[in-house]
A = this chain, B = another copy of it.
Amino acid sequence: MSTTPLTLNDCRARDAADTLHPLRELFDIPEGVIYLDGNSLGVMPKTAAARAAEVVTQEWGQGLIRSWNTAGWFNLPQRLGNRIAPLIGADADEVVATDSTSINLFKVLSAALSIAAQDAPERKLIVSERSNFPTDLYIAEGLCKERGYTLKLVEPEEIAAALTADVAVLMLTHVNYRTGAMHDMPAVTAAAHAAGALMVWDLAHSAGAVPVTLKASGADFSVGCGYKYLNGGPGAPAFVWVHPKHADRFWQPLAGWWGHAAPFAFTPDYQPAPGITRYLCGTQPIVSMSLLGCGLEGFEAAEKLGGMAALRAKSLALTDLFIQLVEERCQGYGLGLATPRDHAQRGSQVCLTREHAAGGALGSGAFAIVQALIARGVIGDYRAGDGGIHKDILRFGFTPLYIGFEDVWNAVEHLRQVLETGEWQKPEFNQKHAVT
């Protein structure tokens, strides 16, 4: 920790010196909002409104069915996939944008189990983290029931010991959604392979947030999200990557027309297209999918300014600053740090814990503090604990494309005021919504 407390002016000076700072001008950030929830839904690129109008009124309205050819709808999943590939350490023609992360995880996990069933039929476990994103566990649970496998859930520090001779697949999310803790992708992938298991990575909280090295790490399968750090818009299609050595080996069971080798021959028998195209299934939501392209423009603009390496350096500087300011300015309010201090283990978010005792009759108060911050325009989010080792979490995402150092100062200042004034104890901040 620094011995001289930081000031607002220090933060402004950092923005002035930040060569990435002008990139925020590519985005529309609502007046009066400090948006620290880009890990849940990224902000809107300024080009999105015009692109939506073009797709709706021109491509749909005027082009109609002809736009499959004239507007390039037919290879849009591949074109977007090729733009995502450099962000995740994949090569051209190895990625498609399509469907949701959950659906894509079903596809790759099905394929992984098919490979395992052939190469190592005695292996009957899928290992994952207990605090992996729940939908990933639900998909795995469903497939385990279908295929006669067992899903074994462990804490992060137990993963190495869990890689026994009966493990078929290790399935992990690269950056944990609750804590922001990041796995060492090359090391964990190597450990899985050394144990004879296949490695599936979910990049929901890392694509666009941290450098990802799928191919260099030797990973087998991966999926990721289009609407978090990639800024593709609400529910933007997800993406899927399969190592080329596996891509042609099996069908995935969601075999639809768009993954067929000759989709317009309308033959009754399924013949999977070569490569990653066989991971497509049915017709895609073209308007939402087109907007994902606007989100990717931000990364293409960043490319000239140092690309993901520069974004990563700024992300770490932002999260370091947030941790430092919280510790300097919000002492004595029962906050703890869930996110690792070690840069090598940190994604692009900082998660604070709060002890239940600190909130008295209001539980941990974590939910209410987040609501009070949102009312002040500082948007983060809350994730409930389980009453055990997983505590209530205040979660703040720092997207280096559009968050600056002064934003961090102001966010912490609001947090300090919410805690100091006891504002979070107001009844209106303690009413839980359907969705939080």
Contacts and interface: CB of A to CB of B under 8 A. Distances in A.
Q: What secondary structure prevails in chain A residues at the interface with B?
A: mixed
Contacts of A267: 134
B106 A254 contact: yes
Interface residues of A, number: 88
A68, A255, A268, A269, most chain B CB atoms within 10 A? A268
A381 B66 CA distance: 10
B56 A43 contact: no
B134 A260 contact: yes
A141 to B, nearest CB: 5
A238 B234 CA distance: 18
Contact of A103 (B40, B282, B384): B282
Nearest to A294: B56
A229 to B, nearest CB: 14
B138 A255 contact: yes
Contacts of A139: 254-256
Given A236-B285, A270-B137, A286-B235, A435 B255 contact: no
B64 A253 contact: no
Contacts of A131: 268
A410 interface: no
A102 B257 contact: yes
Interface in A54-96: 55-57, 59-62, 64-69, 73-74
A289 B281 contact: no
Interface stretch (A30-38, A184-192, A317-325, A358-366): A30-38
A165 interface: no
A136 to B, nearest CB: 9
A224 interface: no
A302 B433 CA distance: 37
Contact of A266 (B56, B253, B384): B384
A48 interface: yes
Nearest to A67: B234
Given A48-B56, A52-B53, A253-B106, A291 B287 contact: yes
Given A103-B254, A139-B256, A282 B64 contact: no
Contacts of A282: 99-103, 135, 238
A254 B49 contact: no
Contacts of A52: 52-53, 56, 287
A310 interface: no
A96 to B, nearest CB: 14
Which 6 A-B pairs have CB atoms at the shortest separation, nearest pair first? Answer: A100-B282, A102-B282, A285-B288, A102-B256, A234-B286, A285-B285
Interface of A: 28, 30, 33, 35, 37, 40-41, 43-44, 48-49, 52-53, 55-57, 59-62, 64-69, 73-74, 99-103, 106, 130-132, 134-135, 137-139, 141-143, 145-146, 153, 227, 233-238, 251, 253-257, 260, 264-270, 281-289, 291, 374, 379, 381, 383-384, 433-436
